[in-house]
Structure formats: structure tokens, C-alpha cells
């Protein structure tokens, strides 16, 4: 029997995202004013174009991650503003070295100091974030994500000695 489990996680905006939105708005207003002053005969087209560009850039910050587990295979897709989808990670759980909660004893200093940490979580303080330690293309990689209990149970079926819930 095939098992298919999916979960959608919306990425919370941090202070850097909010600052970027503020800068985009200020930049758009400033450039619109300059176009009205220096290029009055084309200013209507420039202003409309600038505001559309600002809208497009701001909505590109609406990010969701979709986790899909199918018989031990994990796929993580990044969805940008519900219009563009990109595969960020795909792998079989048999290739995982370790799966555990970030708030566990298994999240050691070696894993925390890994140079290749891929964060596909919601950035929420109270989220139940898990990590996957894996060797990908010869490099140690740590993947942060927020699976539900069914996903963890599915991984435990295939790799019982590598999944830790404590």
C-alpha cells in the first residue's frame, strides 16, 4: 500500500523582510517623484511600471513550503506567492544519517555548525522544527523542516535506528 502525506507550511516574515518591503516602497515613491519631475511626458508609464515592479517584488516574499512524503521519499517544494513552485530538496529517507528534533540532545554542535544548513521551516518561535542530517553530493547538509507525526512515523518504518523523537 502506497503512503502519501503532505503538509504546507507558510514562512513567517522576519524583520529583514519587513525592512526590505519598507525600502521597496520608499524607493518606488522616490523614483516616481523623480520621474514626474524629470520625465513628465513618460511619467505615467514609468509610475505604473514602478508600482507594478514594487507589487511584484513584495509579493515574491510570500513563501510557503510543501513537504510531501511518499513511501519514505521526501520532497520539499518552495511555493512563491502561490504562483511559482520550485523543488528545493528530494531524497529517500534511507540516505538520511539522522532525523530528530532541533530541541533534542541529537542536535549537537557539529550539526549546528554545519556550513550547509537549508532552512525550510516557518521561522516561528513555537514551531516543532526537526532536522535531517544527510550527505548530499559529498557535503554534510542539514535540512530544517516541520513534519507532522505521520511523516515521522513513515520515516521510522524505513529507518527505525536513525529517527529520534526525544
CB 114 within 8 A of CB 141: yes
pLDDT digits (tens, 9 = 90+) for 24-39: 999 999 998 888 888 8
Per-residue confidence band for 1, with pLDDT thresholds at 50, 70 and 90:
low
- Domain regions of the chain by residue span: 15-59
Q: 91: how many CB neighbours lie within 10 A of its CB?
A: 17
Q: What percent of the chain has pLDDT over 90?
A: 70
**Mean pLDDT computed over 102-125:** 89
Number of neighbouring beta carbons within 10 Å of residue 15: 7
pTM of the predicted protein model: 0.84
Q: What percent of the chain has pLDDT over 70?
A: 99
Mean pLDDT of 95-112: 90
115 vs 166: which has the higher pLDDT: 115
Q: Tell me if 68 sits within 8 A of 74, measured CB to CB.
A: yes
The confidence band for 3, taking pLDDT boundaries of 50, 70 and 90, is confident
Write the pLDDT tens digit of every residue in 33-91.
888 888 877 778 888 999 999 999 999 999 999 999 998 899 999 999 999 999 999 99
Q: What is the mean pLDDT of the chain?
A: 91
Distances, alpha carbon 27 to alpha carbons 14, 30, 37, in Å: 20, 5, 15
Transcribe 9-42 into DSSP letters.
EEPPP-HHHHHHHHHHHHHHHHHHHHHHHH-TTT
Q: What is the DSSP letter of 91?
A: E
Amino acid at each position: 500500500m502506497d503512503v502519501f502525506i503532505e503538509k504546507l507550511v507558510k514562512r513567517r516574515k522576519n524583520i529583514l523582510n519587513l525592512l526590505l518591503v519598507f525600502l521597496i516602497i520608499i524607493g518606488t515613491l522616490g523614483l516616481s517623484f523623480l520621474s514626474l519631475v524629470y520625465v513628465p511626458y513618460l511619467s505615467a508609464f514609468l509610475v505604473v511600471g514602478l508600482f507594478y515592479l514594487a507589487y511584484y517584488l513584495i509579493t515574491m516574499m510570500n513563501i510557503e513550503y510543501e513537504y510531501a512524503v511518499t513511501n519514505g521519499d521526501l520532497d520539499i517544494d518552495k511555493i512563491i506567492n502561490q504562483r511559482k513552485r520550485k523543488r528545493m530538496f528530494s531524497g529517500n529517507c534511507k540516505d538520511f544519517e539522522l532525523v530528530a528534533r532541533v530541541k533534542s540532545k541529537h542536535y549537537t554542535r557539529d550539526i549546528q555548525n554545519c556550513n550547509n544548513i537549508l532552512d525550510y521551516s516557518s521561522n516561528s518561535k513555537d514551531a516543532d522544527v526537526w532536522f535531517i542530517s544527510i550527505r548530499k553530493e559529498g557535503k554534510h547538509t542539514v535540512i530544517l523542516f516541520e513534519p507532522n507525526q505521520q511523516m515521522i512515523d513513515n520515516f521510522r518504518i524505513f529507518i527505525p535506528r536513525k529517527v529520534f523523537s526525544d
